[in-house]
Structure formats: C-alpha cells, structure tokens
C-alpha cells in the first residue's frame, strides 16, 4: 500500500512538473515559452496556433498578458504561443546586440514548435509566426531559415539587419508584412544603429520576390486598419503581401487577427 501511494505521489509530481500554460512557463532547459489554448478547448481536437515574438525589452509573459491578443486568438479558435529571447533582445544575424548565439535562436524555435505540438493538440500545418519590431525581425529570419516550419508568416514593423540575404531556404513562404509609412524606429528605408544598419523593407520585399519568383497580383485597401496593401503570388500560389498604414512604430492586436484571417481566406490555413 505504501509503495502504491508513493507511486501515485511520484506520478502527480511528474505531471505537475510537466504542466504549463498561460500562467506557468513551459520549460525548455534554461529557456521557456507560454501557451494559451482557446477558451473551452476540449484538450483533444487539434487547433491552429499563432506564435508571437516580442519586441526589444519585451517578454513572453507580457505578450501572454495582453488580454486583447489572448481574446483574439481564442475567438479565432487557435492557440497563442508566446516566446522569449535570451536577455532583453533577440540574437539575430548582423544585429548589434547578439546576446546569445544566432544558431541558438533558431534551435530554440525548433524546440518550441516540437514541444508545443507534442504537449498540446496543435495542428502543425496550421501555425502562423508573427512578431512586432525586434519580433518582426525574428519573423523575417524564420522566413528565410525555417520557411517550412509555419504555414504563414506575418512580420510587423521589423526586417533584417544590414541587408536581405542573397539566398533563403526553400520552399518559399507565405508572407504578409505590416509596417507604418512614417515609422522612425524601424524606417521602411532603414537606418544606422550602433554602426549597424537596419535593412530596407522595400529591398527585402524585392529580394524575396525574386527568390520566390512572385509576380504582382494587385492591390487592396482595408479601411478599418487604414491599410494599403500590395499583393504578389507565384506559380505555386504562395503569397507575398505588404500592407502599409499611415502611422509610426506601433502595434495593434487587430493586425494579428487580420493576418490570420487573410491567410485563412486564401486557403493557406
């Protein structure tokens, strides 16, 4: 009897250690992430997921504490995964603040996706990576280095450091870039910070358009968000879109909702 009770206690302790969610860190060695499944989820049926990378000095806990974003993800019927840099900023190729190895950044995302899809009922074919500012820079690097990891990518107000890579891994991705026309923090044309130049968004779009052999496919506007969008497609139906708004460096959770619905409407999700 004593052995049986001891066994039950060990199982419970083990289960508790494995438990994680919106308020408890999902541990990956010395790294972590948070996750919130949609409200009322039965724990079994697979759902899509939005993986969000925070900006400089942000945190995964701060992202998860954004009730508007949490509500949007839940209303869409998808999980929200909030990831965390090492220190206050992400380590990215050519960046001025490489606080950890660049290779470690990509390995971390590999581990997060593998762990989240193992622990939770998440459909690996219906995942969107997004992020704001430095998180947008992370997202562009994932587009180039891990294009098959997510069904779609929605970088916001962020791009590569220095210049866009001459080559990116295949297959090319579905991309929607969102940016303010008068952004002074991450200007569309780029700027120099600590001797390192932020990339030019227009150059990035042009380079990736050439890499993916995308062709211009029209324009549209979204009055509610003040978006003016330009659309491109390639022969395989992959998307490369950019939506600009008449504002500076800002984040709006509605951009994430728009991006998800944009990809769903296109049949990507």
Band of pLDDT at residue 157, cut at 50, 70 and 90: very high
pTM for the whole thing?
A: 0.91
Q: What local confidence, expressed as pLDDT, does residue 80 receive?
A: 98
Res. 11: pLDDT tops 80: no
Burial status of residue 269 (CB atoms within 10 A of its CB: 0-12, 13-18, 19 or more): buried
Res. 267: pLDDT tops 80: yes
32-265: CATH homologous superfamily? Alpha/Beta hydrolase fold, catalytic domain (3.40.50.1820)
Q: Which of 48-62, 92-106, 211-225 has the lowest mean pLDDT?
A: 92-106
Q: What local confidence, expressed as pLDDT, does residue 98 receive?
A: 59
Which structure tokens are listed for 104?
A: 């470690």
Query: How large is the average pLDDT for residues 120-138?
Result: 97
List the beta strands (DSSP E) in the chain.
26-28, 31-36, 47-53, 79-83, 122-132, 152-156, 175-180, 192-193, 196-197, 215-222, 227-233, 239-245
Res. 43: pLDDT tops 50: yes
Query: What whole-number distance in Å separates Cα of residue 177 and Cα of residue 130?
Result: 9
Q: What local confidence, expressed as pLDDT, does residue 53 receive?
A: 98
Q: What local confidence, expressed as pLDDT, does residue 210 receive?
A: 96
Which structure tokens are listed for 164?
A: 């866009």
Query: How large is the average pLDDT for residues 48-76?
Result: 97
Query: What whole-number distance in Å separates Cα of residue 112 and Cα of residue 27?
Result: 9
Q: What local confidence, expressed as pLDDT, does residue 69 receive?
A: 98
Q: What local confidence, expressed as pLDDT, does residue 96 receive?
A: 76
Q: What local confidence, expressed as pLDDT, does residue 2 receive?
A: 40
The full 3-state SS of 165-230, as one line of letters, equals CCCCCCCCCCEEEEEECCCCCCCCCCCEECCEEECCHHHHHHHHHHHHCCEEEEEEEEHHHCEEEE
Mean pLDDT of the chain: 91
Band of pLDDT at residue 155, cut at 50, 70 and 90: very high
Burial status of residue 124 (CB atoms within 10 A of its CB: 0-12, 13-18, 19 or more): middle
């Amino acid at each position: 009897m004593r052995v049986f009770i001891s066994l039950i206690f060990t199982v419970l302790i083990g289960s508790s250690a494995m438990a994680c969610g919106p308020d408890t860190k999902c541990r990956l060695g010395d790294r972590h992430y948070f996750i919130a499944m949609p409200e009322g989820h039965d724990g079994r049926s697979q759902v899509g997921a939005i993986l969000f990378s925070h900006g400089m000095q942000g945190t995964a806990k701060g992202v998860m504490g954004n009730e508007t974003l949490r509500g949007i993800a839940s209303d869409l019927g998808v999980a929200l995964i909030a990831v965390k840099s090492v220190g206050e900023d992400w380590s990215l190729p050519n960046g001025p603040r490489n606080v950890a190895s660049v290779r470690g950044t990509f390995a971390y995302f590999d581990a997060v996706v593998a762990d989240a899809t193992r622990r939770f009922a998440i459909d690996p074919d219906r995942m969107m990576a997004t992020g704001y500012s430095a998180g947008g820079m992370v997202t562009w690097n994932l587009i180039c280095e891990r294009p098959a990891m997510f069904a779609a990518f929605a970088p916001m107000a962020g791009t590569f450091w220095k210049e866009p890579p001459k080559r990116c891994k295949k297959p090319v991705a579905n991309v929607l870039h969102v940016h303010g026309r008068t952004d002074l923090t991450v200007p569309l044309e780029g700027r120099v910070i600590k001797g390192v130049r932020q990339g030019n968004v227009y150059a990035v779009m042009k380079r990736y358009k050439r890499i993916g052999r995308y062709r211009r496919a029209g324009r549209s506007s979204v009055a509610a968000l003040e978006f003016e969008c330009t659309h491109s497609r390639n022969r395989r139906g992959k998307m490369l879109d950019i939506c600009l708004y008449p504002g500076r460096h800002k984040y709006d959770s509605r951009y994430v909702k728009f991006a998800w619905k944009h990809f769903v409407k296109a049949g990507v999700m």
